[in-house]
Amino acid sequence: MIEIVKGKYSGFCFGVKRAIDQAKKLTGKNNYILGEIIHNELVNEDLRKRGIVTIEKVDDVEFKDGDTLLIRTHGEPKITFNKVKNANVNLIDCTCPFVKDIQKIVAEHYEKGYKIIIIGNANHPEVVGINGWCENSALITESAEELSKVSEDKLCIVVQTTYSEQKFDEIIKNFNIDKSKTVDIFKTICYTTTKRQSEADELSKSCEAVIVLGGANSNNTQKLYDICQKNCKNVFRVVDPSLFNYEKMKNYKRIGIVFGASTPIEQFQEVISNMANITEENVTPVTMEEQTVVEASEVKEVKSEFEAAVDKIRTPRNYKPGQIVKATISSVNDDGITLSLGQKGDIDIAKSELLNEYTKESINTEIRVMVIGKNPLKLSEKAMEKVMKAEAEIDEVRNGKIFEVEITATNKGGLLGEYNGYQVFVPSSQIKLGFAKDLEKYVGKKLRLKAEKIEAKGPRRQIVASQRVILVEEKEARDAIKAAKEAEFFGSIQEGDIILGTPVRFAPFGAFVDVNGFDCLAHISDLSWTGCKDCAEVLELNKQYEFIILKIDTENKKVSIGYKQLQPKPWDAVADKYKEGDVVKGKVVRLVPFGAFVEIEKGIDGLVHVSQISNKYLENPAAALQVGQEVEAKILLINAEKEKMTLSIKALLEEEPAPVAEEEKPAKGKKRAAKEEDADVELREWKDNDNGGASIADLINKD
């Protein structure tokens, strides 16, 4: 018997499977993939047959509206995403989450002034993409000696996700770190890559021969080949299973098969089938974890799809509750059915545990049942259905479906919950966009999650999940929509435009106004010609008004608008409402050395010169008037254009008694005569001078 042992972690990783599944969903024309989706010729050829075009650069295609571009798991430089945004393309970003984390680390450290160092293959598309997040300034090396020569004081070291863990550890070990430098080292090798390499090392030590299956250009497959060659003399690199000479494998009894993240499980199954065709012995596929015994659940698809390759699936020695078993119906009666388990004998199943109505025609039909009890052994078809339904949901989760989990507990590293019989673990770094410090507050709450990794074999059934990736995707979508709306908005306006807007909130300094979904600011000084202390004095929330655009700051995404500029000024109506000689009432609002300002109505002030307050001589207006006092005055002069009004209180007072004879009038002092002369000069200047065009209110403030 030839025993074929495959690695437990062989095959597509989550990121690769997601990308290929997304690509296979593309229909119609004008679907593009930027670079080969994986380094596997057979998979890429299948996608080409589906009409999906592989391009090397974004600039190679003149995209049209509605075209679709898929970014593969390797990721792309930042500039690629910028170009795609400007091309109005339907973008499907399948960058591996682990690669995205590296890109983020590089971008953040580069912005902080770190020298970026990438350990890996400089020509690998993942490394090229990562380098694009630090403006292609990274040192890309696989040499500890070259690393030690870097002169910068702040270093950030990352590593290609598919790089050899052993080589990386050796480089860091031999890296001569200057203690005066700041060095941040991130071991960003993918978890499955690490497991796959460790597994290849162990498997190659225990097998007579090893087949390393994968694309000719696959970096991770080449790493597995190098590891196996150190431990086994008979290592074969197979790119296309249909072209391999299986005759050379006849003499080996234990053969290991290792395949990387770019190799589909179908190629492994093709190897098994071809092996069965060249030997008369049974070919038994097993995983490393199970060695020579295969659980029925592990090989549930092997026999149905490859009958010629597997002559017999071994029956486990010991049944376990929850185990799925294939068995043949040997008899049917009114109470249920009897299943034949070969050497284990026959087991009766009650009708209440069956999904279907079986008849005598069903004899020799193979069905799947689940072990629900031991001693005695009990089987159930209904229990099987429940599990298969749960597994179908897990498959959807594995393919990227968002699922919801209630958090039941915490541990040192994150949050715990349960989903369809799987323990769900959410690392602290994957709970929110920032870092979650208080984990206890999430207990009892539901989180929306995406699976990052699913462990389904053996007793450990766990989903490592992330809510952060969902939040990042949603934020990117919102940001993209916002950016598009902003671009459209700023492209449609210019200074001086009159627009409709709705005040949505007030602040002490002004009103925020919604204009076509964009917040513009109307400063409080631009709301009223007469001034206001509160926006609510002029505007109402959620009511539409006309505004004028005063200033556009495209760089900072700010627009200043005005309301008062579209309203008449108070002085515009003065000529129609008031005439020289009219008697008006007003309130003293300000006293100055040369007179008093009287408010006739809001925004309309008049000056009562000190000489026009009383029939008597006044040295100071405060001797006769006080702020807030109501007075009557006669309009002497109106100049609406210059916003001036001269008033006289004295003109409404009774005349003083006739003056005494000249020879009896006391002589004026020189000081008093000078003051009276100065007052006359000030009044004439007020009437004749336009004061630089200043309004009365300006003069008040100026004084």
pLDDT at 313 over 90: no
Q: Which residue has the tokens 């970026």?
A: 116
Identify the pLDDT of residue 559: 94
Angle at 578 between CA 574 and CA 584, to 5 degrees: 120
d(CA 19, CA 38): 9
Q: How confident is the model at residue 19 (pLDDT cuts 50, 70, 90)?
A: confident
pLDDT in tens, 663-698: 444 555 555 555 555 555 555 555 555 444 444 444
DSSP E strands, 239-359 = 254-259, 283-287, 324-333, 336-340, 346-350
d(CA 638, CA 642): 9
The amino acid sitting at 620 is: N
Identify the pLDDT of residue 543: 94
d(CA 29, CA 20): 18
Identify the pLDDT of residue 12: 73
366-373 and 378-380: which strand pairing?
Answer: antiparallel
Identify the pLDDT of residue 318: 66
Average pLDDT across the chain, whole number: 82
Do residues 497 and 549 lie in contact, with contact meaning Cβ atoms separated by under 8 Å?
A: yes
Say if residue 461 is exposed, middle or buried (CB neighbours under 10 Å; 0-12, 13-18, 19+): middle
pLDDT at 562 over 90: yes
Task: Report residue 595 as tokens.
Answer: 């007179």
Task: Report residue 342 as tokens.
Answer: 């070969």
Angle at 283 between CA 277 and CA 285, to 5 degrees: 125
d(CA 346, CA 40): 47
Sign of CA dihedral 99, 101, 103, 105: negative
Of 477, 427, 462, residue with least CA distance to 447 = 427
Known catalytic residues? 126
Q: Which residue has the higher pLDDT, 215 or 617?
A: 617
d(CA 159, CA 124): 12
pLDDT at 514 over 90: yes
Give residues with Cβ within 8 angstroms of 410, minimum separation 6: 416, 439, 440, 442, 443
CA-derived radius of gyration, the chain: 43
Mean pLDDT of 143-172: 89
Helix (H) or strand (E) holding 194: helix 191-206
Task: Report residue 498 as tokens.
Answer: 């009159």
Least confident stretch, 79-83, 288-292, 356-360, 419-423: 288-292
Task: Report residue 161 as tokens.
Answer: 């996700």
Do residues 185 and 172 lie in contact, with contact meaning Cβ atoms separated by under 8 Å?
A: yes
Of 241, 210, 154, residue with least CA distance to 4 = 210
Do residues 424 and 406 lie in contact, with contact meaning Cβ atoms separated by under 8 Å?
A: no
Backbone angles phi, psi at 19, to 5 degrees: -65, -45
d(CA 68, CA 31): 5
Identify the pLDDT of residue 653: 85
3-state secondary structure (DSSP) of residue 336: strand
Helix (H) or strand (E) holding 447: strand 446-455
d(CA 118, CA 490): 40
How many CA atoms lie less than 13 Å away from 421 in the CB half-sphere? 16
Give the residues across from 513 on adjacent strands: 503, 520
Helix (H) or strand (E) holding 157: strand 154-159
Q: What is the pTM of this model?
A: 0.39
How many CA atoms lie less than 13 Å away from 340 in the CB half-sphere? 10
Q: What is the DSSP letter of 387?
A: H
Identify the pLDDT of residue 694: 43
pLDDT in tens, 364-416: 888 888 888 877 788 888 887 777 788 788 889 999 999 999 999 999 889 99
Mean pLDDT of 552-570: 90
pLDDT in tens, 221-269: 888 899 999 999 999 998 888 888 888 888 888 889 888 777 777 788 8
CA 474 to chain centre: 5
d(CA 236, CA 469): 39
Task: Report residue 480 as tokens.
Answer: 């993209």
pLDDT at 701 over 60: no
Angle at 598 between CA 596 and CA 601, to 5 degrees: 165
Percent of the chain with pLDDT over 70: 85
Percent of the chain with pLDDT over 90: 31
pLDDT at 557 over 60: yes
Helix (H) or strand (E) holding 44: helix 41-49
pLDDT in tens, 517-556: 899 999 999 998 888 889 999 999 999 999 999 999 988 8
Q: Which residue has the higher pLDDT, 604 or 305?
A: 604
pLDDT at 103 over 60: yes
Q: How confident is the model at residue 315 (pLDDT cuts 50, 70, 90)?
A: very low
Identify the pLDDT of residue 294: 30
Do residues 596 and 590 lie in contact, with contact meaning Cβ atoms separated by under 8 Å?
A: yes
The amino acid sitting at 182 is: T
Identify the pLDDT of residue 477: 92
Give residues with Cβ within 8 angstroms of 35, minimum separation 6: 54, 55, 56, 72, 74, 125
The strand order across the sheet containing 366-373 reads 346-350, 336-340, 324-333, 366-373, 378-380
